[in-house]
Structure formats: C-alpha cells, structure tokens
Amino acid sequence: MNALNQQFAIETGAGDLPAAEELARALADASPADVIAAAVRTVGRDKLALVSSFGTESAALLKVMADVDPAIPVIFLDTGWIFEETLAYRDTLIQTLGLRDVRSIKPSAEALSREDPNGDLWFSNPDACCRIRKVEPLAQALKPFDAWLNGRKRFQGGLRAAIPVVEDDGARLKFNPFANISRADIEAIYKTANLPQHPMLAAGFLSVGCMPCTSRTEAGEDARAGRWRGRAKTECGIHVTKST
C-alpha cells in the first residue's frame, strides 16, 4: 500500500463513506489520477460520473480518467445551443480515448416549450436558460450517482480560486481532480498524449460553452472572459451548491 492509500485508509476508515472534508485532506496533494482512483474506490465505478463540456481543456481530464478507467460514465449536457465543432470534438475524443460510456443529456422538451418557446431566453434571462438547459438536466442525470468528477481549476479564478479537491455539493461528493494543477500541467498532458485540440481554440475561443453566450477571448483577457460577456454572470449554475 503506497503512502496515499495508507493515508486514505486512515482518514476514511474501512467500509465507511467518508465526509468530503476528510477526503479533501487525504487527497490535498494527490495527482489527478490518484484523485480519480480514490473516487472509484470510495463509491465504485457505477456510482461515479464525470461531467464534461468537451470544451477547450476537457481532453486533459478525460485522458487522465481514461487511463484510470475508460468505462467511468461521462455526462455531456447537449443544451441545444452547443457548437457543431464541440459535438464533433466530443465524438473525436470518444474514439481517441476509448471512452466507453458517454451519455449526451438533452433538456426537457416540456421545459423548453413552457419556458423558452422562442429560443431567446438566453438573452432575456440567461440564468433561467442555464437552469432549464443545464442545471435541471444535470440534476436528473446525476440521480443514480453518489459522486461526480469535474474539470474546474483554481487558476481559472473567480468562484473557482479556492475550490478544494473534494467537496459536498449538497447531494453527493464532488471531486475536483484538477483543482490544484496549472495551465502548464494541462498543456503538458496534451503534448505528452498528443491530444487533439478543440477546433475553435485556434480561432481565439479559449473557453467554449453555448453558442449565444460564447465569444472570442481578446489578448490579455482571462480565459473565461468570453463567457456571458458583458454580464455579471460567470457560472452556469451547475457548480453552485445547495448551501451557497
């Protein structure tokens, strides 16, 4: 048993589902692969999901996950506003990385008909648009799972600057394997594994979400400056816990 596994066993106790704070302490300095492996040990593969936007940095986390276990379920929120380039990139990464269980989740047709019949809710109320196209579909998709993985990093700043490696989202454990890595670390994963880049990256889209709320990032701007440009909004809502 290596040092990480010894610490993990001491912190959590055999047979118990550990608290997020205990896991965060045990995994504070762990590598992304070790964080994912610990998540699998904690809840089991069938109770763990990775949520991915298949955006400009997504291949790095998906690669690390695939090296641990390519059959971990991956949830992709197909909001109806996703760029065609992102959909094609999703399919490329599934094949390149050998991902075995990618689930593309669409918003409820009833919710769209009721709240966004003209498809312009993104303009008048982007928070409501994100809720019906991302937050509510993800909540439904995550119901079978006890924990999930995501790709947020502290270097992205804003609400992400102090995220722990593991937290409690109010319903389940939430693992942030890339919390404490750098942009250089991500670039190294791409280079070492020869991962394909998102096709929109070269055109200046450093962070890619839904079409109406994504724009190019100008020189010197934060990577996420092109998301919801001109608005105070910085998150879609899926990373806001029930306690916040």
* Domain at 82, CATH number: 3.40.50.620
The total of structural domains in the chain comes to: 1
Whether 177 is in a domain gets the answer yes
pLDDT value, residue 135: 94
Identify residue 179 by its one-letter amino acid code: A
pLDDT value, residue 148: 97
For 10, the domain range is 3-199
Whether 206 is in a domain gets the answer no
Structural tokens at position 74: 């991956």
Please say if 236 is a catalytic residue.
yes
pLDDT value, residue 85: 97
Structural tokens at position 224: 């996420």
Whether 213 is in a domain gets the answer no
pLDDT value, residue 234: 67
pLDDT value, residue 101: 98
| Contact yes or no for 195/59 (Cβ under 8 A) | yes
In angstroms, the CA 103 to CA 97 distance is 15
Whether 46 is in a domain gets the answer yes
Mean pLDDT by 10 residues, the chain (244 residues): 44 59 94 97 96 95 98 98 98 98 97 97 94 96 97 76 87 94 94 97 92 86 75 69 43
pLDDT value, residue 16: 57
Whether 156 is in a domain gets the answer yes
Whether 181 is in a domain gets the answer yes
Contacts of 75 (CB under 8 A, 6+ apart): 49, 50, 51, 52, 103, 105, 138, 141, 142, 148
Contacts of 166 (CB under 8 A, 6+ apart): 20, 23, 24, 27, 35, 173, 174, 175, 176
pLDDT value, residue 222: 73
54 C-beta neighbours (distance < 10 Å), count = 26
Catalytic residue among 130, 210, 213, 236: 236
Whether 240 is in a domain gets the answer no
From 179, 158, 150, 157, select the one nearest 239 (Cα to Cα).
150
